[in-house]
C-alpha cells in the first residue's frame, strides 16, 4: 500500500558511513550546506515513500542529539523528484512533534509509529 514511513538512524557507530553519504547527497543539492565528516552527534530521519515496488528514500532531515540551542533541525533535504508532494511540510511538522514529545519526556519518546500514523492520516 502506498504511503510514507520514517526511519531514525543514529549517526554514530555502524551507521557512520551511511550518514556521511546522506550528507554528501545533500551537498549535491544545497549550495550552502556545511559538510561535516563527524556525524556522530546527529540523528538522521529518513522519510521514505512506499509503493508496490518497495521503499524509496524521498527526503531526510538531521538534528543534533543534544542541541544547546534546542534546535529541532540541522539539515533538511527533499530529493528533487519528490518535491511539491508535501514531504517538506511533513518533515517540519514531524520534527516539531518529535521535539515536543522529547521535551515532555514521555515514555513513548522513542516510539515514532503513533506520531507518524497521526500525521499521515490527518494531513497527507
Whether residue 62 contacts residue 26, with contact meaning beta carbons closer than 8 Å, is answered with: no
Cα dihedral sign for 25, 19, 73, 113? positive
- Is there a catalytic annotation at residue 111? no
The three cell numbers of residue 103 are: 521535551
Catalytic residue among 102, 108, 111, 113: 108
d(CA 108, CA 118): 14
CA distances from 61 to 1, 52, 89 (A): 24, 25, 12
CA distances from 121 to 4, 88, 117 (A): 10, 16, 6
| Catalytic residue annotation | 108
Amino acid at each position: 500500500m502506498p504511503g510514507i514511513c520514517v526511519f531514525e538512524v543514529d549517526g554514530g557507530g555502524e551507521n557512520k558511513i551511511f550518514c556521511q553519504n546522506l550528507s554528501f547527497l545533500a551537498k549535491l543539492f544545497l549550495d550552502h550546506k556545511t559538510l561535516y565528516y563527524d556525524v556522530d552527534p546527529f540523528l538522521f530521519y529518513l522519510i521514505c515513500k512506499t509503493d508496490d515496488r518497495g521503499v524509496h528514500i524521498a527526503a531526510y532531515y538531521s538534528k543534533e542529539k543534544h542541541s544547546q540551542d534546542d534546535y529541532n533541525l540541522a539539515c533538511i533535504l527533499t530529493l528533487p523528484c519528490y518535491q511539491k508532494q508535501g514531504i517538506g511540510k511533513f518533515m517540519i511538522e514531524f520534527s516539531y512533534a518529535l521535539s515536543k514529545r522529547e521535551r515532555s519526556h514521555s515514555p513513548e519518546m522513542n516510539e515514532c509509529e503513533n506520531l507518524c500514523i497521526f500525521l499521515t492520516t490527518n494531513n497527507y
